[in-house]
Amino acid sequence: MRRVFSPAASGAIARTHLVLLPGAYQTLEDVAAAGFPAALRRCEIDADLSCVDLEPRSLTDRDTLGVLRDQIVRPSRAQGYGQVWLVGISLGARLALDYASSYAQEIDGICLLAPYIGNRIVAAEIARAGGLAGWSPGALAADDDERRIWRFVKGLPESPLRVYLGFGREDRFAETQSLMATALPPTACTIIAGAHDWGTWSALWEVFMESGYL
């Protein structure tokens, strides 16, 4: 797993460790070119940033959760970080949600930028039930990742995990993103003009940096 580490200060552990998971076919170089590390430094937030480069197939492979846990999240705690956040873009945000659905007690928050949550089949099922409150996932098969993630989303109002959601109004996945937003307080959601692209994600990252969540 290739990663680029951007510390808040040389030779010191920051209060928070942000672990950024790009989406499919997005590279560490793309993240840097979009200004994510630079924006964090400009805001002078006491947070170290690790950008993790994952293979496209790893973003939907649950074995990747074990790698994240063993190589990044648990070592972060051992190193003395007070907070560990997962930051995901698109399919990387789905991976962050998947991690939280399994190991929510091991992280402090997730920042989801334009998440790809899943196909519209489960979302339509939830809509027919009148929304998340009326939807029941039932007994889940071991490989039913989408319903497991949506079950986790349904339970967010009772979860201590801090969650931030941002997406563009013209995002091609806005329908499912809006459905997820119903499980969060308005202050935890940012919706701006924009599509599923780097310009929108960079703008949302700036908003998150200024939100006071960290």
Q: In terms of Cα–Cα distance, which of 140, 196, 40, 134 is closest to 32?
A: 40
CA 80 from chain centre, in angstroms, equals: 22
Question: Tens digits of per-residue pLDDT, 144-190?
Answer: 888 999 999 999 999 999 999 999 999 999 999 999 999 999 999 99
Single pTM value for the model: 0.93
pLDDT confidence band for 11 (50 / 70 / 90): confident
pLDDT of amino acid 12: 87
Token pair 């630079």 is at which residue? Answer: 38
How far apart are the C-alpha atoms of 105 and 98, rounded to whole Å?
13
Please determine, for residue 40, whether its predicted confidence score (pLDDT) is greater than 80: yes
Q: Which of 73-77, 83-87, 210-214 has the lowest mean pLDDT?
A: 210-214
Q: What angle do CA 50, 207, 159 make, to 5 degrees?
A: 75
pLDDT of amino acid 138: 85
Cβ neighbours for 90, distance < 8 A, ≥ 6 positions apart: 22, 23, 24, 26, 113, 114, 115, 116, 196, 201
Q: Which of 68-77, 135-144, 189-198 has the lowest mean pLDDT?
A: 135-144
Q: In terms of Cα–Cα distance, which of 107, 21, 112 is closest to 61?
A: 21
Please determine, for residue 58, whether its predicted confidence score (pLDDT) is greater than 80: no
> H helices within the chain, ranges in order?
28-33, 36-42, 63-68, 74-79, 91-103, 120-128, 145-154, 174-181, 198-209
pLDDT of amino acid 181: 96
How far apart are the C-alpha atoms of 106 and 11, rounded to whole Å?
25
How far apart are the C-alpha atoms of 159 and 147, rounded to whole Å?
17
Please determine, for residue 125, whether its predicted confidence score (pLDDT) is greater than 70: yes
Fold of 2-209: Rossmann fold (3.40.50)
